Structure 1
Amino acid sequence: MANEDEFHFPVEPSQQSQDNISESYLVGFVIANIVGLRYYAGRINGREMVRLVREPSNQYDKNAIRVLNMLSFQVGHIERTVAAALSPLIDSDMIVVEGIVPNTRSKSERFKIPCQIHVFAKLEASSAVKSEISRAGLVLISDTDASFGLSEAVVVKEQMGNGDKKSVDKIFKLVDKNVRLQGKMVEAEPPREVIKSDLFAHQKQGLGWLLHREKSGELPPFWEEKDGEFLNILTNYHSDKRPEPLRGGVFADDMGLGKTLTLLSLIAFDRYGNASTSTPTEEPVDVEGDKIEKKGKKRGRGKSIVSGTRKKLKSDDVVGMNASQKTTLIVCPPSVFSAWITQLEEHTVPGSLKMYMYHGGKRTDDVSELMKYDIVLTTYSTLAAEESWEDSPVKKMEWLRIILDEAHTIKNAKAQQSRAVGNLKASRRWAVTGTPIQNGSFDLYSLMAFLRFEPFSIKSYWRSLIQRPLGQGNKKGLSRLQALMGTISLRRTKEMSSIGLPPKTVETCYVELSPEERQVYDHMEGEAKGVVRNLINSGSLMRNYSTVLSIILRLRQLCDDMTLCPPELRSLISSTSVEDVTDKPELLQKLVAVLQDGEDFDCPICISPPTNIIITRCAHIFCRACILQTLQKSKPLCPLCRGSLTESDLYNAPPPPPDTSNTDGEDTKCSTKSSKVSALLSLLIASRQENPNTKSVVFSQFRTMLPLLEIPLKAAGFTILRLDGTMTVTKRTQVIGEFGNPELTGPVVLLASLKACGAGINLTAASRVYLFDPWWNPAVEEQAMDRIHTIGQKQEVKMIRMIARNSIEERVLELQQKKKNLANEAFKRKQKKDKGEVNAEDVIALMSL
């Protein structure tokens, strides 16, 4: 069982939850009884994995540990004496526990079941854990005991070399083989009554795959039927009830391959069934059968968009659809709204599909109103806000299908928006993302939870079967992950498709820092190394989250321009103690302002960009709502350093900077041109000499860097547009439209922040891309680059990464490569050794220690 509050890694927040899991090792196992069976409906029929969940709110026993079967039905509780010994260790994050019921129990004993509780801990904590368990009077069977081989855990069977007749890896290989046998792609044509555009071959094949998965009545992967009973061959769970088919999956095609049109084609089948056999009626009708206008209208938020004429539905046209279910819910970030609306208008016959925008203040609270539409479009944040509403129509609705667009948005399974989408009711579920793995393989767990793909939708099973072997560099973990993704995902890259995109080249331009920049950088890096080395030596690296984050951030800012990191913040580099920062509230605020300027900082609790930022007295930064919720626990602690924390220890961050997008940059404090700025100017001038009408995009993750670039580029005769995260959606749309306007000629440069261009934005007017600074997460960079290299691009695209030589930026590139390797390997069939996840070693590498 995991500690349910999983947090970030200091350098890259979203890694910490994986770090906790992947580095824990089996200490041994305890034999305990599951009691209270008569009070609960959950049943166990043989050797089965069970889920152990802490229940501190139990009124009879504050140490209670619940036992659940694979379908999450409660079976009973772990007996009190064992729970009393293990619960404090679980609550303090010292151990993670997993349960297995062996197949050797007595049939005469009706009121209790023996259970092996396997205890995992980090290597450095294992001796302390052993002594604590022993002090509590429990017998911990470790690998030095003769009876260790009696463990039913996969990890032990692999270690002892005596796996079952059908080991876990044989099971995965068998499933993988079956998928390959069924894996021939069949093209499908969309109904012409709805879709007026021609699909590329890869889109027709994708449509065929989506339809097959939705229509399939097959048993879900890892289930078998034997003598009228159903068995999950991974967990050994038996049931006399046939499990529901897994209607859905992960649609993970590369960005720019037209997933939106493919999904609209899928939705078109809900009304028209098989396009080749359907016949239109004489009158266009709406979803209730009433006549509708042939001309569609487009309204504001919370209103409908009608895409056109429609025929009456014949019952045999509906593909596996419940007549009461006919509406698809599409969930996406706000920036993608306009993309769905544009695609609907461009690719569908006017009036054929009706869309409702469930967003903003004036949205309906009537379920029957939503049922009138083919598509309801909403945002993750809207659903998160309604998670606590009892009367939310979205929660009451029985959706035919839920599509999560940019599904990596829910990579933290504990975030409110992830829980909100997971709790919705639907018969078909799709996670759509070109970057399913952004930080590490644990990103995929939240997709399994949304898809309800048992047993991988249960955290303890995911950890045991996939995460732990992966994190420990075991090649079996990677081959299991590949087989798993093969069963439920479709991924094609641009290289594999035949859409005829013009070529894309990626180059790295190394920039030498000037003598003055080199002196300041080397001095700061030297101090930073000393700070990080001390933190490592004292064992407090993980606790000093903000210190390490801000040190590394400041080094990265110096690589861009010394103006980004003023001298008073450079002096903060050696300030590592809580008291130092707390005594200087004005510097505390400046520290937050610097962190806010960088776009790759997330709240460590929800793994999303923080809202209403709070900084604690221990110099850690959270969303206000996240930290306040954490402090409601019986023992309020800082989630990162575990120091005691109350509401009086929280400070408000300074307000976010105003939208500077309309300034001309004249008032911006500007340094003498940095080496990087000069190098960028030279590259842009060379490109202009080659073709005066080339449009370029310059990406930076530091918002304050954009106005610094504006002044020298304007002075050199470039037309400048700006796009950053402080702008409203309307303003962003206006800037993108202006940039794409063919009448805007001459050397045009769009200065853009990476996150403002991450999704749903088309920048195919550009043919040159400059990444002014490297991002931790290569998936975010690739998303931004694929706004340029996508369907509709007619020119050869050249992308240039700008890297300060002999600096932390070179080491960030190495970290990126490590992540790319994992993301690529997850979708391959070949078995290669896993590179492992990001951990404390990466801090050492980044600081070149």
Structure 2
Amino acid sequence: MEEIEPSMGSNSRQYSPPNDAVDASSSLSQSETFMVGFLVVNVVGLRHYQGTISGREIVGLVRDELNPYDENAIKVLNMRSVQVGYIERFVAAVLSPLIDAGLITIEGIVPKPQGKGSRFRIPCQVHIFARIEEFESVKRAITTGGLQLISENNASFTLSEAMAVKEKKSVIAEKSVDEIFKLLDLKVSNEGMSNALEPPKKIIKSELFSHQKDGLGWLVSRENSCGLPPFWEEKNGVYVNELTNYQIDTRPEPLRGGIFADDMGLGKTLTLLSLIAFDKWNHDANSSSNIDVEGDEGLGEEESIPLLGKKSKRGRGTKKTENSRKKKKVVDINANKVGKIANLEPKTTLIVCPPSVFSSWITQLEEHTRKKTFKVYMYYGERTQNAKELQKHDIVLTTYSTLASEESWEESPIKKIEWRRVILDEAHVIKNVNTQQSRAVANLNAKRRWAVTGTPVQNNSFDLFSLVAFLKFEPLSNKSLWNSLIQRPLAQGDEKGFSRLQVLMATISLRRTKDKGLVGLPSKTIETCFIELREEERRVYDQMEEEAKKIVKGYISDESVVRNYSTVLSILVRLRQICTDLNLCPADLRALFPPSQIEDVKNNPILLTKLLSVLQDGEDFDCPICISPPTDIVITCCAHIFCESCILRTLKQTKPVCPMCRHALQESDLFKAPPDSTQTSPSEGSPSSSSKVAALLKLLSASRDESPFSKSIIFSQFRKMLLLLEEPLKEAGFKVVRLDGSMNAKKRAQVIKEFGIPTPEGGPTILLASLKASNAGINLTAASRVYLLEPWWNPAVEEQAMDRVHRIGQKDDVTIVRLIARNSIEERILQLQENKRVLAKKVFSRRGLKDQREINRGDLRALMNL
């Protein structure tokens, strides 16, 4: 669960914490929310908005903080996100302060109308959810505000239309939610797998593996779907969404796209290029004439795209083409229909990816496609402002940050185009649905949408909501409904939440893993090497942990973990640094801890600066606004950290409050970071002598004796640690290169190229790599051994880094060695990782599930050994 505020409704402004550690500790401090009761209110202002409501229907309630006429405004949207009106002003005046304070979340349902009703107002039930410990204060605030709250001890409570109440009733008139999901599951199971496809040889020169051909078939069938989207049914000429009871007269658009979630290293990029090539071949062929569905007469042999049987093996596609050309369908869709609309539909694909993946797409295009078959435009840095120029290309490549920077620019050419398809590569980047880059991609105009990621669940099931929102998968793209049907049951340990999520993922995603032996990769072995800390390391660690326990215990007891997340982060970072090397920590460790009272911290700029210095040493936090490693770091008077440009822009565009805790904030309340000492070499006279480094050198020497020409990668999250390691490694006779987040894309590419030079030819034997700078979009198959100096909070980040080595192209068996300090926070992080790994696996499993709760504050206690 990624939300900082203890709220889960669609209305409140929620922000992901700046790293997975605090993600754990903040969500960890968040109790489950339960229904306090409901209000019967009116939706007003109907004549000013286009949205309509035709019967009993779930509606979205969205806090409208920037409304110039009412600072407490709450918008009402129907399930297609079209505004219907507003909640009555006097009701909003009571509820909005509670929402803004993170005390409640609200959900709305319009009951079945009695008679014709009014043209100017619609009755609506507003269901209020809060943590149990907040129940009394919430009830008191609502009653004091003059509203009548109908709670469980009120006879009228049974009239509630909330799912939380209806599911407890013994008889439900309508089809139950789980019956609806079971029917969808049955439908998906009956449909079975799509037929495998060959890409057009005129464009794609590489041979696809069998699983890639299967994947291409699935992608093409999804893109050309003509069926009703999930949960929709036609009843007497009217289209009804069974989950929300929303009704329309026009047929809803098919859901064309989905989540392509194959494991990292299985060749998703080539499969996607084959999809674009298939489309281009189809488009070009249809420009002059329609496709002959009965055969491929008139096409060159290389142009033929036959269907493959499910049992076809890799490398046999061409032979099968030659022997069975008479009655081959190009694809299991109405090809003539596609041909007729090809010239009317857009042809350009927009690919959005992190900067580190840019070069990978260029490389893959060069390796797998024939020259001059694709026209590609890189919309990055200096770029055109002409939309027509972009539309001349088959592929436009851009980055998330580029889109985010243009989100408020109405004249952006990206916004003026209706794209053939949008592909989000490394789509887990948008796991926080409230960030600027998430909003920017969600607002793109596209016929087809693909979220591509090998790690769709990094922390918890809410990571998937942002992907569902991007896909426009109505009605679950409405946060209120997602919370009601999936997130809240999950948080409360109800297995219904898991089973619904599994059905949903089976409906819209494709995931295959490397453990199925799909591509015959060499083996991957993960070993854990436990290290005993030296006497001095153990003494400092134990002393630090005792101090840390007192502080964190106080935060937990007074419910202030979220408010003090940066302090909690600094504590956790320091404990982990001691486990790796004492040289990472300054001598005056105690002085780095702020007093337990946040008020003292607010009034101590020197301490704030010092605290920031601590946080700069690690890579394990992002700016909560852009969800990227912060640049020009500032810390607020309320101890929250942002990029300077992000927080200044936010303060200008919205109310002058901290996005994290809503504390009043002015530019004078921001404090600049000290110079980043990690960009320079460590001071002389401080060679690393830690237990871990000694163990690492021993392991590397043994590996060299066994295989002199093998290459190794050493991952650490601390840039300073990479610098500390250079000298002892060189003294031990290793040739070393380094790759970290301080390098630009050109420098990184140069380091990777140098590391690829074979050892006998003078190439490096060791790459010192920053974990986050090397966990996506690069190929490091030159190495066969990987050493992880510290465990990462999020196992998905580690797995991404490992899979830079263990992927298509790797010829040797791969060994991963994790160095873990015994009797320390690192052992407890391993357990936290396992919990997240199990969750991610279960989301895509179709087997029954036992009770599994989301992360709670107990995990923070476990990390601190409380």
Instruction: Work out whether the TM-score is over 0.5.
Output: yes
Name the counterpart of 2:696.
Answer: 680
1:358 is the counterpart of 2:379: yes
Written as runs of structure 1 = structure 2, the 5 A alignment for 1:194-209 is 194-209=203-218
Deviation at 1:93, TM superposition (A): 1.9
Q: Pick from 82, 85, 92 the counterpart of residue 83 of structure 1.
A: 92
Give the whole-Å Cα distance in 1 for the aligned partners of 2:276 and 2:647: 40
| Deviation larger for 466-475 or 675-684 | 466-475
Written as runs of structure 1 = structure 2, the 5 A alignment for 1:622-641 is 622-632=642-652, 636-641=656-661
Q: Write the deviation string for residues 425-474 of structure 1: whole angstroms up to 9, x where unpaired.
A: 11011000001111211111111111111111111111111111111211
Higher relative contact order (CA 8 A, sep 6+): 2
Name the counterpart of 2:296.
Answer: 277
Name the counterpart of 1:803.
Answer: 820
SS in structure 2 opposite 1:115? Answer: strand
Give the whole-Å Cα distance in 1 for the aligned partners of 2:183 and 2:337: 36
Q: Pick from 252, 256, 260 the counterpart of residue 261 of structure 2.
A: 252
| Deviation larger for 749-758 or 608-617 | 608-617
Change (3 A) 1:415 1:14: farther
Deviation at 1:163, TM superposition (A): 3.4
Change (3 A) 1:278 1:520: farther
Identity %: 61
Change (3 A) 1:735 1:128: same
Q: Pick from 253, 257, 273 the counterpart of residue 264 of structure 1.
A: 273
Q: How many residues align?
A: 814
SS in structure 1 opposite 2:609? Answer: helix
SS in structure 2 opposite 1:159? Answer: coil
Q: Write the deviation string for residues 686-708 of structure 1: whole angstroms up to 9, x where unpaired.
A: 11111111110010000100011
Name the counterpart of 2:740.
Answer: 724
1:357 is aligned with what amino acid?
Answer: M
SS in structure 1 opposite 2:84? Answer: strand
Change (3 A) 1:271 1:336: same
Contact 1:694 1:746 in 2 (8 A): no
Change (3 A) 1:658 1:807: closer
Change (3 A) 1:497 1:456: farther
Name the counterpart of 1:305.
Answer: none
1:789 is aligned with what amino acid?
Answer: H
Give the whole-Å Cα distance in 1 for the aligned partners of 2:257 and 2:546: 52
2:510 is aligned with what amino acid?
Answer: L
1:192 is aligned with what amino acid?
Answer: K
SS in structure 1 opposite 2:515? Answer: coil
2:785 is aligned with what amino acid?
Answer: R
| Deviation larger for 272-281 or 477-486 | 272-281
Q: Pick from 447, 450, 466 the counterpart of residue 427 of structure 1.
A: 447
Q: Pick from 339, 348, 358 the counterpart of residue 369 of structure 2.
A: 348
Change (3 A) 1:22 1:619: closer
Q: Write the deviation string for residues 709-740 of structure 1: whole angstroms up to 9, x where unpaired.
A: 11111111111111111111111111111111
| Deviation larger for 733-742 or 580-589 | 580-589
Q: Write the deviation string for residues 220-254 of structure 1: whole angstroms up to 9, x where unpaired.
A: 11111111110101110000011111110000000
Give the whole-Å Cα distance in 1 for the aligned partners of 2:534 and 2:580: 12
1:800 is aligned with what amino acid?
Answer: V
| Deviation larger for 210-219 or 113-122 | 113-122
SS in structure 1 opposite 2:514? Answer: coil
1:620 is the counterpart of 2:640: yes
1:540 is the counterpart of 2:560: yes
1:701 is aligned with what amino acid?
Answer: Q
Deviation at 1:351, TM superposition (A): 1.5
1:229 is the counterpart of 2:238: yes
Deviation at 1:581, TM superposition (A): 5.0
Contact 2:12 2:99 in 1 (8 A): no
Contact 1:659 1:727 in 2 (8 A): no
1:113 is the counterpart of 2:122: yes
Change (3 A) 1:639 1:63: closer
Name the counterpart of 2:668.
Answer: 648
Change (3 A) 1:23 1:595: same
SS in structure 1 opposite 2:167? Answer: helix
Name the counterpart of 1:132.
Answer: 141
Change (3 A) 1:822 1:801: same
Q: Write the deviation string for residues 5-24 of structure 1: whole angstroms up to 9, x where unpaired.
A: 21345873446886698721
Specify every segment of 5 or more residues in structure 1 that has no aligned partner in the other structure, as ranges. Answer: 285-313
1:533 is aligned with what amino acid?
Answer: K
Written as runs of structure 1 = structure 2, the 5 A alignment for 1:39-54 is 39-54=48-63
Name the counterpart of 1:299.
Answer: none
Give the whole-Å Cα distance in 2 for the aligned partners of 1:153 and 1:454: 19
Name the counterpart of 1:64.
Answer: 73
Name the counterpart of 1:7.
Answer: 15
Give the whole-Å Cα distance in 1 for the aligned partners of 2:125 and 2:816: 55
Contact 1:270 1:321 in 2 (8 A): no
| Deviation larger for 41-50 or 71-80 | 71-80
Q: Pick from 382, 402, 408 the counterpart of residue 428 of structure 2.
A: 408
Q: Write the deviation string for residues 273-317 of structure 1: whole angstroms up to 9, x where unpaired.
A: 2898385699x9xxxxxxxxxxxxxxxxxxxxxxxxxxxxx9987
SS in structure 1 opposite 2:381? Answer: coil
Contact 2:24 2:860 in 1 (8 A): no
Deviation at 1:424, TM superposition (A): 1.2
Give the whole-Å Cα distance in 2 for the aligned partners of 1:563 and 1:804: 16
Deviation at 1:500, TM superposition (A): 0.3
Name the counterpart of 2:856.
Answer: 839
Name the counterpart of 2:411.
Answer: 391
Give the whole-Å Cα distance in 2 for the aligned partners of 1:139 and 1:21: 27
Change (3 A) 1:658 1:515: closer
1:2 is aligned with what amino acid?
Answer: S
Q: Pick from 700, 711, 715 the counterpart of residue 699 of structure 1.
A: 715
Name the counterpart of 1:557.
Answer: 577
Q: Write the deviation string for residues 605-664 of structure 1: whole angstroms up to 9, x where unpaired.
A: 44332232111123221122333344448864334444433211111112445755xx7x
Deviation at 1:818, TM superposition (A): 1.1
SS in structure 2 opposite 1:352? Answer: coil
Deviation at 1:755, TM superposition (A): 1.0
1:240 is the counterpart of 2:249: yes
2:447 is aligned with what amino acid?
Answer: S
Give the whole-Å Cα distance in 2 for the aligned partners of 1:456 and 1:19: 25
Contact 1:44 1:69 in 2 (8 A): yes
Change (3 A) 1:51 1:576: same
Contact 2:22 2:568 in 1 (8 A): no
1:598 is the counterpart of 2:618: yes
SS in structure 1 opposite 2:420? Answer: strand
Q: Pick from 148, 172, 176 the counterpart of residue 163 of structure 1.
A: 172
Deviation at 1:483, TM superposition (A): 0.6
SS in structure 2 opposite 1:622? Answer: strand
Give the whole-Å Cα distance in 1 for the aligned partners of 2:684 and 2:476: 52
Q: CA RMSD in A?
A: 2.5
Give the whole-Å Cα distance in 1 for the aligned partners of 2:338 and 2:122: 51
Name the counterpart of 1:376.
Answer: 396
Q: Write the deviation string for residues 163-191 of structure 1: whole angstroms up to 9, x where unpaired.
A: 34411111111111111111223110100
Give the whole-Å Cα distance in 2 for the aligned partners of 1:8 and 1:16: 12
Give the whole-Å Cα distance in 2 for the aligned partners of 1:829 and 1:744: 50
Contact 1:527 1:574 in 2 (8 A): no
| Deviation larger for 346-355 or 130-139 | 130-139
Change (3 A) 1:269 1:641: closer
SS in structure 1 opposite 2:446? Answer: strand
Q: Pick from 686, 705, 713 the counterpart of residue 689 of structure 1.
A: 705
Give the whole-Å Cα distance in 1 for the aligned partners of 2:359 and 2:665: 43
Name the counterpart of 2:107.
Answer: 98
Name the counterpart of 1:736.
Answer: 752
Contact 1:130 1:140 in 2 (8 A): yes
Give the whole-Å Cα distance in 2 for the aligned partners of 1:719 and 1:133: 68
Deviation at 1:578, TM superposition (A): 4.7
Give the whole-Å Cα distance in 2 for the aligned partners of 1:481 and 1:185: 22
Contact 1:545 1:640 in 2 (8 A): no
| Deviation larger for 670-679 or 334-343 | 670-679
Q: Pick from 681, 686, 689 the counterpart of residue 670 of structure 1.
A: 686
| Deviation larger for 129-138 or 688-697 | 129-138
Written as runs of structure 1 = structure 2, the 5 A alignment for 1:293-308 is none
TM-score, normalised with respect to structure 1: 0.91
SS in structure 1 opposite 2:168? Answer: helix
